[in-house]
């Protein structure tokens, strides 16, 4: 089992920044690829970003490329999502996810999810 706890969400004005954190526990964090998804009201959950266990490979949704950066600190069992130039359409609940397989994380077909953290961007 892997337990994931997100934090760092909040209310920010358009153009502002937030950094989300996802703390993992339960299994060897460095063995797992990690990712971020988001779900806006009335919409399906969508992929945002993912990072390999080593941190060497990263993937981003087109909608966040150049604005969001995913990173990880295996010593702290934590993955981060730095969000810059935020837009109102980034408003959503953000979830982190984990799996040993990076492509499974990107597809959102993994078993482990956090409880989510709300990000609200005002115009």
Provide block-wise average pLDDT over 10 residues at a time, the chain (123 residues): 94 98 87 96 96 96 98 95 98 96 93 94 96
**Secondary-structure percent of the chain, ordered helix, strand, coil, rounded to 5:** 10, 50, 40
CA nearest neighbour of 119 among 11, 23, 5, 4: 11
For residue 106, the 8-state DSSP code is H
For residue 28, the 8-state DSSP code is -
Q: What is the pLDDT of residue 1?
A: 80
Contact 33, 97 (CB under 8 A): no
């Amino acid at each position: 089992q892997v337990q994931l706890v997100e934090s760092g969400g909040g209310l920010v004005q358009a153009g502002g920044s937030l950094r989300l954190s996802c703390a993992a526990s339960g299994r060897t964090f460095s063995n797992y690829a990690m990712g971020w998804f988001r779900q806006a009201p009335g919409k399906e959950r969508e992929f945002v970003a993912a990072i390999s266990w080593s941190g060497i490979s990263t993937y981003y949704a087109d909608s966040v490329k150049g604005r969001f950066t995913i990173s990880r600190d295996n010593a702290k069992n934590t993955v981060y999502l730095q969000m810059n130039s935020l837009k109102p359409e980034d408003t959503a609940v953000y979830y982190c996810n984990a799996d040993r397989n990076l492509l499974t994380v990107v597809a959102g077909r993994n078993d482990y999810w956090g409880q989510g953290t709300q990000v609200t961007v005002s115009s």
